[in-house]
Amino acid sequence: MKKKLTVIAITVGIIGCSLLTAGVAFGDVDPIKNLNNLKSAFESNKKKLNEMPNQTPEEIEATVRAGKEPKDLGKEVAKKEQIADPDGEAKFANQLKSYIAGMKDSVSELKHMAEETKDSKYLKKAEELEKKIARYEQEQQAYLKKEGKTVKELRKELDIPAY
């Protein structure tokens, strides 16, 4: 009897999941609208959590329990954002800018090391990195002018992961 119930439960689960997946695949659910709803729910829960008192141990425990809901909503928002924008186009410009800034910091550090140690290998690495920076900046300008490649192509070419 338990085996039959288990098989029935698994079958119902598979059918239910396939129906949900089919609904999403055929466009029954708007991921952007769903994402906006989740974001607003997350912000309201976060605001409510910040307004909770937490002086006594009971209040602290209630705050911890209430904090789990915004955390779960935040995870759900991140999943929906990944579905709505798999290439991370919304964050790409800032991400590229931060990569360039990090490489510039590395160049200055390499030049400083070359002066300190009187070793030319640091200068060679700095020169290689400066060439890479120039390429990244060129691609950044083309992207900002909306010329050329898509974000997906740029991520692959420049080796910048989407997260």
Enter the tokens of residue 28: 């029954």
* Contacts for 125 with CB less than 8 Å, ≥ 6 apart: 110
**Separation of alpha carbons 155 and 52, rounded Å:** 42
Please tell me the predicted confidence (pLDDT) of residue 20.
41
Phi-psi region of 64 (alpha: psi -120 to 50; beta: other; left: phi over 0): alpha
| CA 76 vs CA 39, 101, 124: distances in Å | 9, 31, 46
Question: What pLDDT, in 10s, does the model give residues 132-155?
Answer: 999 989 888 888 888 778 888 888
Mark the ranges of the chain whose per-residue pLDDT is less than 50.
1-26, 28
Residue ranges of domains in the chain: 2-84, 89-158
Overall pTM > 0.75: no
CA 112, 106, 142: angle at the middle one, nearest 5?
A: 135
